[in-house]
Amino acid sequence: MAPVETFDYELLLERAKKKLPTTLESHDRFQVPEADVMIEGKTTVIRNFGDIVDALRREPAHLLGYLLRELGTAGSMEGRRVVFKGKVAVAQVADRIKNYVDEYVLCSECSRPDTKIVKDGRILILVCETCGAHRPVHVKKQVKAKEAKEIEAGETYDMMIEDVGKKGDGIARKGNFIVYVPGTAKGSQVKVKIEKVSGTVAFGVRVS
C-alpha cells in the first residue's frame, strides 16, 4: 500500500500565489488605457472606448454620459468606440477621463480600483471591495453655466499659445476651454477674437 502523501497548506498557498499573473497579484500597476482619439471630418472618435470601460469596470453608458456632460457636446456609441460631434482636443478627453477615474473608480482610502457604485436612495455610494471603505460620489452640478462665461463668441482675449495641434493650429487654454488659433506659434502671446464656441472648445483668429 502506497504511503499517504501529506500536504502543507501554507506551502501550497504560497506556490499558488507565485503562479498568479502579476495583474491579479497586485493592483499597484492599475493603468487606464490612453484614449485613442482621432478626428474624422467634423467629429471626434475615441476608438478604444470599449477597452477603457473594460479596464474601469463601469457601464459604457455611465462613462459616456459623464464625458458628454463635461465636454459639453453630443455623441453616441458605435460598437466599442464613441463618436462626439465637433472637434475635441486629446488633452480635454484625457483630463475628463482622469477626473472620472478619481471620482467614480479609485477608492479614496486605499487608492485601489476594486470598487463598485451602489445607490442609496438618491445618493451614489462608491464601495471599495478591497478595504471596505465607502464614500458618496460628488456629482458636479451647474458647472456649465459658470464655464460659459469664461469665453464668448465675438469677444477678444489675451492668450498664450501653449501647443500646436496636428494640423498646425496653435492651442491656447482659458479656464476649462481649449482654443484653436490658426497661424500662431507655440510660446507666443496674442490677442484672439473668438469666432465660434462649441461646448468647451473654441475657435478664434489672431488679431495682433
Neighbours of 93 (CB within 10 A): 21
Task: For 113-156, write each residue's pLDDT tens digit.
Answer: 999 999 888 888 999 998 988 889 876 544 444 444 578 888 99
Distance separating alpha carbons of residues 87 and 202, to the nearest angstrom: 10
> 19 pLDDT exceeds 50?
yes
Q: CATH classification of 143-206 is 2.40.50.140, yes or no?
A: yes
Question: Which residues, in sequence order, are bridge partners of residue 117?
Answer: 126
**Which of the two residues, 144 and 178, has the higher pLDDT score?**
178
Q: What is the pLDDT of residue 12?
A: 62
Residue reference for cell 497548506: 9
Q: What is the pLDDT of residue 14?
A: 65
Any idea where the domains of the chain sit in the sequence?
29-105, 109-140, 143-206
Look up the CATH architecture of domain 29-105: 2-Layer Sandwich (3.30)
Under the banding of pLDDT at 50, 70 and 90, the label for residue 13 is low
Tell me the chain's radius of gyration from C-alpha atoms. 23
Q: In one letter, which amino acid is 117?
A: I
